Structure 1
Amino acid sequence: MAFATSLIPGLDEIVRGDDPNRRADAARRIAEMFLEGAAGFRPEHVDIFDGILTGLVPRTGLAIRADIAERLACLANAPRNLVGQLAREDEIAIAGPLLRHSPVIGENLLVEIAREKGQQHLLAMAERPTLSTGLTDVIVRRGDREVVRRTAGNAGAAFSSSGYSALVRRAGQDGVLTLAIGQREDISDDNLKELLAGSIDAIRRRLLEAAKPARQARIRQAMSDISGMMAPVEGRRNFEAAQLAVLSLHAAGKLNESALLEFAKAHKYEESIATLSAMSGVKIATLDRLISGDRYDPILIVSKVIGLEWATVRALILLRIGPNRVPSQADIEGARVNFARLMPSTAERVVTFWKTRQAA
């Protein structure tokens, strides 16, 4: 600390003291010294600055910490401990620039912060030039809609097999996310098929239109492999208007259980089936055939897979039997008990079988 003390007399006392003004002034001056000479400092010099600044900067005001963090964010030899301190801060104005850009933050620290901090921190990390599979596993699991969309759109992000599967599952209720995933260069053929199987026709067409010419062939092949995804829905009902309604909900980020419940309560059959299709990845024609059958079991199964609440399941059962018929209380209670007992893993196997049959 001798060279710094020669420029800032009484630095030892300032570091140990409680005078915020003197501390802030010292932090600014020493940070400025480092930033001006950073290009020529050897590692041992950086370590000296690191030791001084980690004792000064955390106890300065927000504006000073944010300014220092912003200026350190792109330095390849920034003081590692200081950067780690600032990157852990709850205030995103401080942590954000470092989480977006700093090359000195290690993988372990990024994963630690991703596990502990909120959505703004995850969103900042989603913009890093590269993202490891370990980090994206956490981001996809914890991130909200905007975070996951940003991560999927990051060409430098890498995803593990389980991470990609989780990403594709989330895309089943998010058309914007579907488009981002579908345009990734690293998506496997199996993941692409699963992604397309879980999306509505209009989203598939938009993906095909947005894709580069070199990728369009892969997308067309995947569509062909999952058997006529672009074909109109067969059967006695016309689902075209319902699909457009569901697409509008996709675009507005409102395709969720609440929308499904409203459709079911209003006895809008086509819209309800189209929404269930978009949320589950089961084709409209398959769901229409199963749900219009003699039993309500398919409603319980698909509802369990996509995690619906009983109130929505009940509304779908009432939708199935029609607006002018009233089921017995015993039948409704029996359905409720069966739904509660149905294991998600069992329901998932049945839905997988449906998807296999519809693609065969």
Structure 2
Amino acid sequence: MRVTLDSLVDTLKAAAETSRLRILALLSRGDLTVSDLTEILSQSQPRVSRHLKLLLEAGLIERYQEGSWAFFRVADTDATRDLVMGLVSRVHDGDPQIERDTERLSSVKRKRQERAREFFADNAASWDEIRSLHVPDKAVETALLKLVGKRPFQSMLDLGTGTGRLLEIFAPLYRRGVGIDMSREMLTVARANLDKAGVSNAQVRLGDIYAPPVERDSFDLITIHQVLHYLDDPAAAIREAARLLRPSGRLVIVDFASHALEFLREEHAHIRLGFSDRQIADWFAEAGLELEQTQDFEPRGASEAKLTVKLWLGRDRRLLIADPAAIAAARETA
């Protein structure tokens, strides 16, 4: 995307100040609150807020709300991200001020990880009970990586991102990743995990799976991992996900096959007891998607008290008519 000369000059003026460039360098490594930035920069909150206001007005960063917390991130457009990353990459890592900021940023991230550990400790028993009923997560992750392939792509969206695990494993492939979740606690976990894994090309946001706060026709890959069984209207979630795909984009769903374990409703808030291939195929068709592949992962020692994990891959039926190279790339990943 090209801009006018005056517009570019105004943008560069907004970034051309020591504290604001430090802020851009910090936000290039992940989303932060005003309190985080105040602690890292060792500046007053009014002063930090003024710098943020100028960067917002220049369109270099964005602000979003999670309950009582306001987070800031690098603006979510390829052109802006390229500009910001180009600027901050030219600052020497050994610069004393940048080194101090990085050290303080690490301290902020350690606090996040501690909150994440506390949340896991409080919920570990519940999750372990469900994990014991199905195939290990590693087997499913390996299959997902094989299914998606090794070809890089532009953008990924993980709906109901939870711990952010899928954003982590696919990070080497996408240029921009976004995770959406309705739980602020889970977003804390996801941010801590992505920080620990060194993933800087993904961000997570508070949002509703039925109305994600992202633009339509924007993503090459969308994942919905172990989320549908919590929803009262899975078909609506699939339709919304389909609207967010680019032409020939892919939607991958991981969930349970149909089962009869009623205690999961009573004790773990599952609304749906799994899904059949026919259900998913019908919902894909209604959403304009073609069901391309299914995989089953049966647990060891299968019995009526176990869960089969299913993987469904759907593809947007539209073609990028104006871009033959994109069509060829889509066929290669099929």
The TM-score with structure 2 as length reference comes to 0.26
- Larger RCO, structures 1/2 (Cα 8 Å, 6+ apart): 2
Q: Greater strand share, 1 or 2?
A: 2
The TM-score with structure 1 as length reference comes to 0.24
Larger radius of gyration: 1
